[in-house]
Homo-oligomer: A and B are copies of this chain.
Amino acid sequence: MRPFLRTLPRQLNQVRTMAASASTRKPVLSLESINPAVLDVHYAVRGELALKAVAYEEQLHDPVKAKELPFDKVVTANIGNPQQKGLNQRPITFWRQVISLLENPALFQDHLDVISKIYPADVIARAKTLYGEIGSVGAYTHSKGIPAIRKKVAAFIEKRDGHPANPEHIFLTAGASAGVSQILGLVLKPGEGCMIPIPQYPLYTATLAYIHAKPVPYYLDEATGWSTSTEGLIQGVNKAKADGIKVKALAIINPGNPTGGVLSRESMEKVVQLCYDEGIVLLADEVYQRNIFDPKDRPFISFKEVVRSMPKEVANSVELVSFHSISKGVSGECGRRGGYFELTNIAEDVVEQIYKMASVTLCPPVTGQVGVDLLVDPPKPGDASYDQWLAETTLTHDNLRDRSKLMSERFNQLPNMSCQPADGAMYLFPQIKIPERAIEEAKKRGKAPDVMYTLDLLDATGICSVAGSGFGQEAGTYHLRVTALCPGVEDYVGKIEKFHKEWIAKWA
């Protein structure tokens, strides 16, 4: 069992002598020597501003240094993280009860009498069923995800869209982000183009940079509620062609992040037709499909449903990958890392390649997969948990809708600020008319004007937002992304209003 031990062979001694004779050894890894694609990756949502916010939070824990700050807490309005400390979205009780039983099956195996006093019957029944299908949540599952849960996702999609769904074309993922990265990395060869909306969620530009693919921007129309206009798409395609870039995929976020816009069927049909005409794979990020503020006037329609409702030749040929997540909606279980994507009109041998790549990452987190089960199959009327589930999810949904509406109304009353009301999602993306003097000052500070605004906002109020330049915006316009997840209005919007008026006055 002893490994071969011997004196160092000649070659190694020679090498050593060379090294010794050389000057002091330089590190192997430096910004010059690492994979340059990494340097091209930008991710504003958690950039300089987020780091500064973390530093302020630490300072607030020091009773002495805390006094130096003009605020007593940091409000992280930069990420859609509903369950974070200080926000008021509580987890869905039904979810946590079921998962706690799966984490510790002894609770229903050995202590059923005790647990029955605390947990409703449908919680225990669901946990037993899932335990029968999964076994230990500590074991690897099928790399595509637990088969029984993929079947339930297919049923959920069929009920939502009125078109069949195949469990073998559904992959459970560690949140939508993991699925998006995996699909972009498979679809695109280095140098090929993926259309992305401007403004966009920076996951797309970050991933494209990493895989050496090219982002092809198309501009959403702020004046019309950030709608996707066919012109914008055509201009994007033509610009890419002019630049010699092959456009292979189109990413669309509906409901929009950061814009909150929800697409009409007409707009969606035009997008699908363009993908058909131009030979483009459609990637539909639909993680906010449950966050819809006015379902009658502006309902959520899935791209799967639109594709399948188009003329047969289009319906059966446009290749679509649709993403969903447990992190948003009314569950907001970001930390669990769960979601899925559905493949439509993708060739079977390509599906096999996607499966192979999924198997390299072993499997998505198991309780994230369980979250998908609870997302697509919630309690039904008559179930013991139904009333509480309905009350909790309705409260979360209505709070978000009402805060979003109130925030956009109040933002629109501010000088130098205009804000499109949101149809859905979790964010507002108000435009700020930044005075010339502030723009000059930002140049001096070596920052984008809207970045300077967000840094000043943080310094003055402890509110952490994201500058529009992190998402992309029409040249010469400046924006701010804030979440509508804040607890109280005065504590949040009031501070933004006060800061904004003073800041505009200062630089006017």
One complex includes copies of this chain to the number of 2
Q: Is the beta-carbon distance between B83 and A136 smaller than 8 angstroms?
A: yes
**Other-chain contact of A335, B25, B101, B138 (Cβ < 8 Å):** B138
How near does chain B come to A199, taking the closest CB pair, in angstroms?
Answer: 16
Q: Is the beta-carbon distance between A5 and B264 smaller than 8 angstroms?
A: yes
Contacts of A54 in B (CB 8 A): 142
How near does chain B come to A121, taking the closest CB pair, in angstroms?
Answer: 16
| In the complex with contacts A38-B186, A332-B138, A266-B5 CB distance below 8 A | yes
Check A165 for interface membership: any CB of B closer than 8 A: no
Interface-located stretch among A152-160, A284-292, A357-365, A487-495: A357-365
Contacts of A297 in B (CB 8 A): 1
Interface residues of A in 207-258 (CB under 8 A from B): 207, 210-211, 221, 224-225, 227-231, 234, 238, 248
Q: Is the beta-carbon distance between A234 and B12 smaller than 8 angstroms?
A: yes
Interface residues on A, range: 35 or more
Interface residues of A in 269-310 (CB under 8 A from B): 270, 273-274, 276-281, 297-298
Check A64 for interface membership: any CB of B closer than 8 A: no
Check A104 for interface membership: any CB of B closer than 8 A: yes
Q: Is the beta-carbon distance between A357 and B185 smaller than 8 angstroms?
A: no
Q: Is the beta-carbon distance between A83 and B337 smaller than 8 angstroms?
A: no
Check A29 for interface membership: any CB of B closer than 8 A: yes
**Other-chain contact of A27, B114, B140, B319, B333 (Cβ < 8 Å):** B319
Q: Is the beta-carbon distance between B114 and A9 smaller than 8 angstroms?
A: no
| In the complex with contacts A135-B85, A185-B35, A189-B35, A140-B15 CB distance below 8 A | no
**Smallest CB-CB separation from A189: which chain B residue?**
B35
Contacts of A91 in B (CB 8 A): 136, 138
How near does chain B come to A254, taking the closest CB pair, in angstroms?
Answer: 11
Check A178 for interface membership: any CB of B closer than 8 A: yes
Nearest first, the 7 A-B pairs at minimum CB distance are: A3-B227, A335-B366, A100-B104, A46-B359, A83-B139, A83-B136, A365-B365
